[in-house]
């Protein structure tokens, strides 16, 4: 299980600790958030949209990024090879997650997370699902914006030194898209 702890270290600074496989890593965040740390926004959007192999899902699967420093415990044998393999295998999903987080934050900050027509226009202009990927629609965006709003409220309430602890889900919250069952005509043709 991947455990993540975000700690407010100042009015515009934070620290992130990641626990995985009996090892603890510090994660250096490059932003100076006024409202919501970028890594926390990634967590909320990836979790809510069920992105299994975005930034946090890849860390859970064994990836170690340059922004991560081992602070306690030890790395598993062959962890560098495992990390490269996870990142290589999920490169497209990492890119997708980064694009979706940016888009969800844009929609959230512009306050259009409940305006279905504005969401549709923004998605049409900026988002095409990757080959084989599930489309993102207004209900998904509303859920992501709600998760971001709740995370922002929790973050704003934290005093300096306060922490927000979360775990990465074992299964995505968004149900995977299923292929429709063949119609009777199609079943007869297959028989």
Domain ranges for the chain, please list them: 3-170
Residue 13: how many other CB atoms lie within 10 Å? 14
Contact assessment for residue 80 and residue 88, using Cβ atoms and an 8 Å cutoff:
no
Residue 71: how many other CB atoms lie within 10 Å? 11
List the strands of the sheet with 13-20, edge to edge: 68-72, 23-27, 13-20, 3-10, 163-167
Segments in the chain below pLDDT 50: 172-191
**In this predicted structure, what is the pLDDT of residue 19?**
97
CA-CA distance, 116 to 140, in Å (whole number)? 11
Q: Answer positive or negative: Cα dihedral of 88, 90, 92, 94.
A: negative
CA-CA distance, 64 to 70, in Å (whole number)? 10
Q: What is the model's pTM?
A: 0.84
**In this predicted structure, what is the pLDDT of residue 134?**
65
Contact assessment for residue 15 and residue 2, using Cβ atoms and an 8 Å cutoff:
no
C-alpha distances in angstroms, 107 versus 54, 118, 139, 156? 19, 9, 13, 20
């Amino acid at each position: 299980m991947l455990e993540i702890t975000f700690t407010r270290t100042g009015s515009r600074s934070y620290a992130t600790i990641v626990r995985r496989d009996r090892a603890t890593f510090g994660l250096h965040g490059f932003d100076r958030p006024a409202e919501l740390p970028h890594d926390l926004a990634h967590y909320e959007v990836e979790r809510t949209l069920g992105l299994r192999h975005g930034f946090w899902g890849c860390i859970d699967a064994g990836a170690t990024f340059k922004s991560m420093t081992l602070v306690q415990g030890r790395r598993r044998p062959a962890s560098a090879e495992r990390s490269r393999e996870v990142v290589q295998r999920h490169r497209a999903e990492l890119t997708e997650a980064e694009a979706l987080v940016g888009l969800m934050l844009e929609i959230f900050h512009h306050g259009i997370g409940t305006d279905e027509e504005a969401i549709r226009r923004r998605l049409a202009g900026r988002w095409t699902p990757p080959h084989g990927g599930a489309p993102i629609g207004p209900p998904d965006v509303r859920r992501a914006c709600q998760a971001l709003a709740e995370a922002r409220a929790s973050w704003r309430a934290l005093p300096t030194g306060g922490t927000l602890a979360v775990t990465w889900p074992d299964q995505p919250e968004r149900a995977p898209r299923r292929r429709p069952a063949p119609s009777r005509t199609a079943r007869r043709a297959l028989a």
